[in-house]
Amino acid sequence: MDMKEKLQELAETAKARIEESEGLDKLNDVRVAYLGKKGELTAILKSMKEVAPEERPKVGQLVNETRARIEALLEESRKKLEETIREEKLKAEVIDVTLPAKKSLIGHRHPNTIALEEVERIFIGMGYEVVEGPEVEYADYNFTKLNIPEDHPARDEQDTFFINDSILLRSQTSPVQARTMEKGKLPIRMIAPGRVFRSDEVDATHSPSFHQIEGLVIDKNITFADLKGTLEEFAKELFGPETKTKFRPHHFPFTEPSAEVDVSCFKCGGAGCRFCKGSGWIEILGCGTVHPNVLRMCGIDPEEYTGFAFGVGLERIALLKYEIDDMRLLYENDIRFLKQF
Ligand code: DAH
CATH number for the domain including 289?
3.30.930.10
> Which of 29, 57, 92 corresponds to the end of one domain?
92
Digit-coded pLDDT (tens) for 114-168: 999 999 999 999 999 999 999 999 999 999 999 998 888 878 877 899 999 999 9
pLDDT score, position 79: 93
- Asked whether residue 188 is domain-assigned, the answer is yes
Neighbours of 128 (CB within 10 A): 19
In the chain, pLDDT over 90 holds for what percent of residues?
62
Does 86 share its domain with 133?
A: no
- Average pLDDT for 263-283: 90
Digit-coded pLDDT (tens) for 18-33: 988 888 899 899 999 8
Q: Which residues fall within 8 angstroms of residue 303, CB to CB, at 6 or more apart?
A: none
Does 173 share its domain with 320?
A: yes
Confidence of residue 211 (pLDDT cuts 50, 70, 90): very high
Digit-coded pLDDT (tens) for 288-335: 999 999 999 999 999 999 999 999 999 999 999 898 989 999 999 898
Q: Is the pLDDT assigned to residue 62 strictly greater than 70?
A: yes
Atom of ligand 1 nearest to the CA of 171: 4
- Asked whether residue 125 is domain-assigned, the answer is yes
Q: What are phi and psi of 104, to 5 degrees?
A: -85, 135
At position 18, the amino acid (one-letter code) is: I
- Average pLDDT for 222-238: 98
Among candidate residues 257, 258, 305, 314, the one with its CA nearest the CA of residue 286: 258
Distance 262 CA to ligand 1 centre (A): 14
211 against 341, higher pLDDT:
211
Does 38 share its domain with 166?
A: no
Q: Is the pLDDT assigned to residue 265 strictly greater than 80?
A: yes
Q: Is the pLDDT assigned to residue 180 strictly greater than 70?
A: yes
- Interatomic CA distance for residues 313 and 172, integer angstroms: 10
Q: Is the pLDDT assigned to residue 239 strictly greater than 90?
A: yes
Does 129 share its domain with 85?
A: no
Atom of ligand 1 nearest to the CA of 214: 12
- Asked whether residue 248 is domain-assigned, the answer is yes
> How much is the mean pLDDT over the chain?
92
- Interatomic CA distance for residues 173 and 194, integer angstroms: 7
86: domain range? 3-92
CB burial readout 320-341, b (16+ within 10 A) else e: bbeebeebebbeeeeeeebeeb
pLDDT score, position 162: 95
pLDDT score, position 1: 59
pLDDT score, position 288: 98
Nearest residue CA, atom 12 of ligand 1?
310
Does 135 share its domain with 85?
A: no
- Asked whether residue 102 is domain-assigned, the answer is no
Does 276 share its domain with 249?
A: yes
Overall number of domains in the chain? 2
Distance 238 CA to ligand 1 centre (A): 19
For ligand 1, which residues put their CB under 6 angstroms from it? 172, 174, 214, 252, 255, 286-288, 309-311
- Asked whether residue 99 is domain-assigned, the answer is no
Does 228 share its domain with 286?
A: yes
- C-alpha atoms less than 13 angstroms from C-alpha of 199 in its C-beta half-sphere: 12
Atom of ligand 1 nearest to the CA of 173: 1
Candidate of 146, 174, 189 to mutate for ligand 1, largest count of ligand atoms within 8 Å of Cβ: 174
- Interatomic CA distance for residues 210 and 198, integer angstroms: 8
Does 17 share its domain with 132?
A: no
> Which of 92, 121, 153 corresponds to the end of one domain?
92
Nearest residue CA, atom 7 of ligand 1?
286
pLDDT score, position 122: 98
Parallel/antiparallel/unpaired status of strands 188-197 and 209-219? antiparallel
- Interatomic CA distance for residues 117 and 120, integer angstroms: 5
Atom of ligand 1 nearest to the CA of 311: 8
Does 81 share its domain with 139?
A: no
- Interatomic CA distance for residues 303 and 292, integer angstroms: 9
- Asked whether residue 194 is domain-assigned, the answer is yes
> Which of 61, 92, 123 corresponds to the end of one domain?
92
Question: Does pTM surpass 0.85?
Answer: no
Does 161 share its domain with 43?
A: no
Does 152 share its domain with 51?
A: no
Does 169 share its domain with 309?
A: yes
pLDDT score, position 50: 81
- Asked whether residue 103 is domain-assigned, the answer is no
Q: Is the pLDDT assigned to residue 196 strictly greater than 80?
A: yes
- Asked whether residue 63 is domain-assigned, the answer is yes
